[in-house]
């Protein structure tokens, strides 16, 4: 332990103690909360269905071509492990179905099996990580007309139903094998670029598909399903079948979770306000942390007021057992490992700041209608030495501090990434 870091922590600890916060307890809680880190930041949402990586499409767009992109599953895993070595605390890896270990024998998304993900489970065990899962309903010929589960073409609709059925079976296997629940998140790109007259017909098809999919039940200990709504997507600006209203209604009726993605709403809407609005009605919330710039651009999360507000809402509601925190972003214009680490660490920092809040004291002021004191305390917290708590946490976890992170990432680029074609 760096003695300077330890001394700074002790001073910060005393300041927080004066406000009624036990920093040791905060770090203990922080360490226990799993953060689900998305694998697709590592390879630009390409996957391993063929030797020639597919380009993202169907509502997904990745910009940039920074050197050193992983070319196969082994290189992606190596990069993931490097990123994990700089992300403190408990971690999970979120996979898409297109990231199976197909060994050059990919037969189709409607034919994926448990065997294609056995090596991922072995990897997770070795790296003491959990796994989450996502069916992949984009970048495919059967998604080109804009509809998958909501398609009026029965061949296409049934193809995607089968894909999700197999994905849920795989998620159940992952959760059971790792003894840690696998969050299975379902997002579809279905919608229209321009005016759609027959919206109801497509939504009736989507309803039929979901009913068929969820007719099979799995143990909550292994897998929990969530529906991810969206306001609009690339090429479906005018109409999205899987809107918040549609999925929220279905989730409430059928005991499912709802996914709230920070980039999937109107720019003036705040996910931080939506969390406790839906919590009383749904089984749980899957949180996708991203940073939208004017639209759902999936920029790297940074420590914004909204990110802190999201975590504060979860902590203040004592909902850490019902809100499952994950990341969803991809930027190929900078070092991919660096992007991974900055985004995930920003999420954890925001969560730490929320946990360091003396919520009970602030709530007491609120109940007394002493709004001046409430505001004053919230403002005072902005100048508290949370950075010293963070540095100490990184030290105790054996992780690079922020001041050391750049060198660690650039060394890996020099030693590994620069040698890739």
**DSSP string over 273-297:** HHHHHHTTTSS-EEEEE-B-SSSS-
Residue written as token pair 């004053």: 376
> CB under 8 Å, gap of 24 or more: what pairs does 213-217 form?
213/161, 213/164, 213/165, 213/168, 214/254, 214/256, 216/165, 216/168
Residue written as token pair 């997904």: 60
Please, is 71 exposed, middle or buried when counting C-beta atoms within 10 Å of its C-beta (0-12, 13-18, 19+)? middle
Detail the DSSP E strand segments found in 243-344.
Answer: 257-261, 285-289, 323-327
**Which H helix or E strand runs over 181?**
none
- 75 CA to centre of own chain: 22
Please, is 417 exposed, middle or buried when counting C-beta atoms within 10 Å of its C-beta (0-12, 13-18, 19+)? buried
d(CA 361, CA 382): 16
- Residue in 260, 375, 359 with CA at minimum distance from that of residue 306: 260
Tell me the catalytic residues: 187, 228, 230, 261, 264, 288, 296, 298, 328
d(CA 157, CA 42): 30
């Amino acid at each position: 332990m760096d003695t300077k870091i330890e001394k700074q922590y002790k001073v910060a600890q005393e300041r927080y103690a004066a406000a009624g916060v036990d920093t040791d307890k905060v770090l203990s809680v922080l360490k226990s909360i799993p953060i689900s880190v998305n694998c697709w930041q590592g390879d630009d949402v390409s996957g391993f269905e063929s030797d020639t990586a597919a380009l993202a499409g169907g509502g997904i767009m990745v910009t940039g071509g920074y050197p050193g992109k992983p070319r196969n599953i082994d290189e992606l895993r190596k990069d993931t492990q490097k990123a994990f070595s700089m992300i403190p605390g408990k971690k999970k890896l979120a996979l898409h179905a297109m990231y199976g270990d197909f060994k050059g024998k990919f037969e189709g998304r409607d034919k994926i099996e448990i065997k294609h993900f056995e090596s991922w489970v072995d990897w997770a065990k070795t790296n003491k990580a959990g796994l989450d899962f996502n069916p992949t309903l984009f970048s495919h010929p059967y998604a080109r007309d804009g509809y998958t589960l909501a398609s009026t073409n029965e061949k296409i609709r049934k193809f995607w139903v089968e894909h999700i059925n197999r994905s849920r079976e795989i998620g159940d296997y992952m959760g059971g094998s790792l003894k840690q629940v696998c969050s299975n998140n379902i997002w579809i790109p279905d919608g229209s670029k321009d005016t759609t007259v027959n919206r109801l017909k497509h939504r009736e098809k989507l309803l039929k598909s979901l009913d068929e999919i969820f007719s099979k039940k799995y143990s909550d200990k292994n897998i929990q399903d969530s529906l991810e709504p969206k306001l609009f997507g690339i090429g479906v600006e005018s109409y999205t079948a899987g809107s918040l209203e549609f999925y929220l209604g279905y989730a409430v009726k059928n005991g499912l979770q709802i996914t709230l993605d920070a980039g999937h709403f109107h720019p003036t809407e705040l996910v931080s306000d939506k969390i406790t609005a839906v919590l009383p009605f749904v089984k749980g919330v899957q949180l996708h942390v991203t940073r939208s710039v004017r639209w759902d651009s999936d920029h790297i999360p940074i420590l914004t007021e909204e990110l802190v507000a999201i975590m504060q809402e979860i902590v203040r509601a004592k909902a850490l057992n019902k809100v499952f925190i994950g990341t969803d972003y991809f930027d190929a214009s900078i070092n991919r490992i660096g992007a991974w680490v900055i985004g995930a660490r920003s999420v954890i920092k925001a969560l730490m700041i929320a946990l360091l809040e003396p919520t009970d004291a602030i709530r007491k002021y609120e109940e007394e209608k002493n709004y001046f004191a409430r505001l004053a305390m919230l403002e005072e917290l902005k100048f508290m030495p949370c950075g010293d708590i963070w540095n100490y946490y990184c030290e105790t976890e054996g992780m690079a501090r922020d001041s050391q992170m750049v060198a660690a990432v650039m060394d890996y680029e020099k030693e590994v990434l620069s040698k890739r074609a």
